[in-house]
Amino acid sequence: MLEGIFQPTHLLVIFGIALLVFGPKKLPELGKGIGEGIRGFRSAVKEQVDATDKNTTGDEASTPRSL
Protein backbone atom coordinates (compact mmCIF):
# COMPACT_ATOMS: atom_id res chain seq x y z
CA MET A 1 0.00 0.00 0.00
CA LEU A 2 2.75 2.47 0.91
CA GLU A 3 5.35 1.04 -1.46
CA GLY A 4 5.53 3.95 -3.88
CA ILE A 5 5.01 6.84 -1.49
CA PHE A 6 8.68 7.89 -1.22
CA GLN A 7 9.64 8.04 -4.87
CA PRO A 8 11.86 10.99 -5.84
CA THR A 9 9.10 12.68 -7.84
CA HIS A 10 6.73 12.58 -4.88
CA LEU A 11 9.38 13.98 -2.55
CA LEU A 12 10.06 16.85 -4.95
CA VAL A 13 6.36 17.69 -5.11
CA ILE A 14 6.08 17.61 -1.30
CA PHE A 15 9.16 19.81 -0.97
CA GLY A 16 7.74 22.27 -3.53
CA ILE A 17 4.44 22.52 -1.69
CA ALA A 18 6.25 23.02 1.63
CA LEU A 19 8.34 25.76 0.03
CA LEU A 20 5.22 27.52 -1.22
CA VAL A 21 3.39 27.20 2.09
CA PHE A 22 6.19 28.09 4.51
CA GLY A 23 8.48 30.19 2.35
CA PRO A 24 12.24 29.98 1.90
CA LYS A 25 13.06 31.75 5.18
CA LYS A 26 10.88 29.58 7.42
CA LEU A 27 11.79 26.21 5.84
CA PRO A 28 15.27 25.84 7.47
CA GLU A 29 13.79 26.65 10.88
CA LEU A 30 11.09 24.06 10.30
CA GLY A 31 13.67 21.45 9.30
CA LYS A 32 15.77 22.24 12.36
CA GLY A 33 12.76 21.87 14.64
CA ILE A 34 11.77 18.55 13.09
CA GLY A 35 15.36 17.28 13.38
CA GLU A 36 15.54 18.24 17.05
CA GLY A 37 12.23 16.52 17.67
CA ILE A 38 13.41 13.32 16.00
CA ARG A 39 16.67 13.36 17.98
CA GLY A 40 14.75 13.88 21.22
CA PHE A 41 12.40 11.04 20.39
CA ARG A 42 15.27 8.69 19.56
CA SER A 43 17.10 9.49 22.78
CA ALA A 44 13.93 8.98 24.84
CA VAL A 45 13.31 5.61 23.18
CA LYS A 46 16.93 4.59 23.76
CA GLU A 47 16.73 5.57 27.43
CA GLN A 48 13.51 3.57 27.81
CA VAL A 49 15.04 0.52 26.16
CA ASP A 50 18.17 0.80 28.32
CA ALA A 51 16.08 1.12 31.47
CA THR A 52 13.97 -1.87 30.46
CA ASP A 53 17.10 -3.92 29.72
CA LYS A 54 18.59 -3.00 33.11
CA ASN A 55 15.41 -4.02 34.91
CA THR A 56 15.11 -7.23 32.96
CA THR A 57 18.71 -8.34 33.45
CA GLY A 58 18.65 -7.39 37.13
CA ASP A 59 15.51 -9.45 37.77
CA GLU A 60 16.84 -12.52 35.98
CA ALA A 61 20.12 -12.48 37.91
CA SER A 62 18.40 -12.37 41.32
CA THR A 63 15.89 -15.16 40.71
CA PRO A 64 17.15 -18.76 40.66
CA ARG A 65 16.31 -20.86 37.64
CA SER A 66 14.70 -24.23 38.04
CA LEU A 67 15.26 -27.06 35.62
What per-residue confidence (pLDDT) applies to 60? 52
Mean pLDDT along residues 45-66? 74
Bigger pLDDT: 16 vs 63: 16
Give me the DSSP letters along 51-63. Answer: HHHHHHHHHHHHS
For the cut 70, the answer to whether the pLDDT of residue 58 exceeds it is no
Torsion of CA 41, 28, 6, 18, to 10 degrees: 120
Taking only the tens place, the pLDDT of each residue in 1-52 is 566 667 888 888 988 998 899 888 898 898 899 999 999 999 999 999 988 8
Q: Is the pLDDT of residue 61 over 60?
A: no
Asked if residue 64 has pLDDT above 70, the reply is no
